[in-house]
Structure formats: C-alpha cells, structure tokens
Copies of this chain bind each other. A is one copy, B any other.
Amino acid sequence: MAAKLGHDFLAEILRNGDLAVDGTMGNGHDTLLLAQLVGSQGKVYAFDIQEQAIDNTRQRLVSQNLFDQRVKLIHDGHQNIKHYIEHPIRAAIYNLGYLPGGDHGVITKTETTLIALEHTLNLLSSGGRMVIVVYPGHPGGQQEKEAVEQMVSQLDSLHYKVLKMTLVNRPPSAPGVVLIEKVRE
C-alpha cells in the first residue's frame, strides 16, 4: 500500500518530457515506471553499483520496448549524481537496502546514501517530488532508516514538505516510506 502511494505521488506530477532519477536501479521496477511516466520525450537517469542490477534493468526495459534514448543506466554510485546531471529534475526515487535476489551483503551505506539524497534534493525543481523507501530489516538497515529520517526531519519546512508513512500494525522490520515535495517558489 505504501509503495503504491509512493508511485502515485510521482505519477501525479510527472509529464511527457520530464527528467527523473532512479537512485537505486535494483531490478529495474522503478526505472521502468519512471520511463513510462516521462514518455518518449523524457529522460530517466538510473544508478547502481552492481552489474547484475544494470543487466536486470536493461532486460526489464527491453521486454517492455522501453530501452531507448529516454533511459540512461549508469554504473556508478548515486552519491556521484552531480557528475551526471546538471539540469533540474522533476522526480526521484530511492529504494534503499540490498538488491532483491542478489548479494544481500552489498547494501546501500548510510554515508553515501545521505550524500546522494542531499544532492538529489538540490537538483529537484520547484514542485518536484522524491520518494525514499528504507528497509530496517537487514544489518545496518535500522541505522540507515534512522539517519534518513533524521536528515529529512531537519529539512526547512519553508522549502520542503516531508511526509513519513509507517505501516502501524506490522513488525518494526516493515519498510518506511518518505515522500518529499519541494515547495513552489
């Protein structure tokens, strides 16, 4: 339910021709969604440090006839986003943790996650939106979740609306979802 709300949150504002970022390519589910939403005139920059993620994402896009000029799959850490994108972006999604079906020992790290999120927030256009999904269930996950929630709770409310979604009748290992909207200036 939370994941669906996160997708709807981005779908509501993304238009044909927009620029979007998938900070954690993983198996390409979010990259595919963004590629559909930005349309043939748009652009999606997707990041991952694992070859397997790039391969899986490319296959997923190919299977939907969406592996074309609109998608750029970048084999690099999301903390380097500034090296690849200079223009304002309309939307971004980060699905933290490990690659489902991959090596669970390779996880996003709090330090680089926070750098990536900060740079991505700076790139967001006025009215742009970001979704962050954090998983506290794996080693280091709880610490990352707390660090992310701490960071977003300190964002200036004049510039960012920040909403945290929590599944309340679930074990504490359930993912948390944060929705952020950059306030229109």
The chain A residues found within 8 Å of chain B, CB to CB, are 1-2, 5, 8-9, 149, 152-157, 160-170, 178-179, 181
Separation of A157 and B168 alpha carbons in the complex (Å): 9
Please state the number of chain copies in the assembly: 2
- In the assembled complex, which residues on chain B have CB atoms less than 8 Å from the CB atom of A163? 1-2, 5, 165-168
- Across the two chains, which residue of chain B brings its CB closest to A152? B168
In the bound complex, what is the Cα–Cα distance between A1 and B160 (angstroms)? Answer: 11
Given the known inter-chain contacts A5-B9, A163-B2, please indicate yes or no for A153 contacting B181, CB distance below 8 A. no
How far is A112 from B177 in the complex, measured between Cα atoms in Å?
32
Please report whether the interface of chain A is mostly helix, strand, loop or mixed according to DSSP: mixed
Bound complex: CA A55 to CA B149 (Å) = 43
**Residue in chain B with minimal CB distance to A8:** B8
Q: Which residues of B contact A178 (CB under 8 A)?
A: 168
Residues of B within 8 A of A165 (CB): 163-165
Chain B residues closer than 8 Å to A152, beta-carbon distance? 168-169
Contacts A1-B161, A2-B163, A163-B1 given: A168-B153 contact, CB under 8 Å? yes
CB distance from A46 to the nearest CB of B (A): 26
Residues of B within 8 A of A154 (CB): 169
Cα–Cα distance between A153 and B181 once the two chains are bound (Å):
27
A-B contact pairs, 9 of them (CB 8 A): A8-B8, A152-B169, A153-B168, A153-B169, A154-B169, A160-B169, A161-B167, A162-B167, A168-B178
B-side contacts of A155, CB under 8 Å: 169
Q: Say how far A50's CB is from chain B's closest CB, in angstroms.
A: 30
Please give the distance in Å from A52's CB to the nearest CB on chain B: 32
The contact of A179 among B1, B161, B181, by CB within 8 Å, is: B1
Docked pose: A168 CA to B181 CA in angstroms: 12
